[in-house]
Amino acid sequence: MIQIDSASVRFGDTTALQELSLHVPDRTIALVTGHAGSGKSTLIDVCRGVVTPDSGSISVDEPIAVVTQSYQLPSSLTALEQLVLQGLIRGVPAAEAERAGQELLVALGLDGVDRNMPDELSGGQRQRLAVARALAARPKTLLLDEPTSALDRASRGLVLRAVRVAADAGAAVLMTTNDVELADWADQVTTLA
């Protein structure tokens, strides 16, 4: 669950978020749209705790998993290892973590590149791997900053189906986008002014 009440964020003279209130229940995909500079990434940063609002309050259930626009994939781990690591961190036995990781790679159309390093992947494959890694953490809160920006239609469908599975399993999902077609996949839509 994500609960934001009247949150405002200012950077010097710039108001990045103005008294935003947003409630995302568990099992819900919330889409946040808005023009460039309307505060979408700032909202993600507030939810993940790296930006503190100047006023207002925020509450987010843990664990939180994030896909930022830079993905932040460790360069020395293969695609599969990135996912297995998330399982190991959760205390899952290695064999089970590997099986779950392989399943996620299949779901996201990445099973052919399981042994590739991030720099051996295309931009779209990297973006799908970043989403897969976030899902492998089995978060209560999933924050996705424009998670389909590098994807074609087919790959976008894979990502959105996998995100729906996570929501159905109980996660609250907040996803920013410039792609109006994603509204079809969302349970609620908020447009930042």
Q: Count Cα atoms within 13 angstroms, Cβ side, for 153.
A: 1
**Least distance (Å) from ligand ATP to the CB of residue 166?**
22
3-state class percentages of the chain: helix first, strand second, coil last, to nearest 5: 40, 25, 35
Taking CB under 6 A as the criterion, the residue among 38, 125, 148, 177 binding ligand ATP is 38
Q: Among the candidate windows 38-46, 123-131, 157-165, 183-191, which touches ligand ATP by CB under 6 A?
A: 38-46
> Which is closer to ligand ATP, CB of 21 or CB of 96?
21
- Measure the CA–CA gap between 108 and 30, rounded to whole angstroms: 21
As a whole number of Å, the end-to-end CA separation of the chain is: 23
SS (H, E, C) 104-133: HHHHCCCHHHCCCCHHHCCHHHHHHHHHHH
What would the two tokens of residue 115 be? 């042994």
Question: Of 86 and 127, which has the nearer Cβ to ligand ATP?
Answer: 127
Nearer to ligand ATP (CB atom), residue 42 or residue 190: 42
Point out which residues pair with 173 in neighbouring strands: 29, 142
Q: Which is nearer to ligand ATP, 140 or 156 (CB)?
A: 156
- 16 counts as binding ligand ATP under rule CB under 6 A: yes
Are 89 and 42 contacting, i.e. CB atoms less than 8 angstroms apart? no
Q: For residues 74-133, which are near ligand ATP according to CB under 6 A?
A: none
Min separation Cβ 69 and ligand ATP, Å:
7
- The residue within the footprint of ligand ATP, chosen from 30, 33, 40, 141 (CB under 6 A), is 40
Task: Among 33, 42, 86, 125, indicate the residue that binds ligand ATP (CB under 6 A).
Answer: 42
Q: Does residue 165 bind ligand ATP (CB under 6 A)?
A: no
Rounded CA separation 148/171 (Å): 19
Contacting residues toward ligand ATP, per CB under 6 A: 11, 14, 16, 34, 36-42
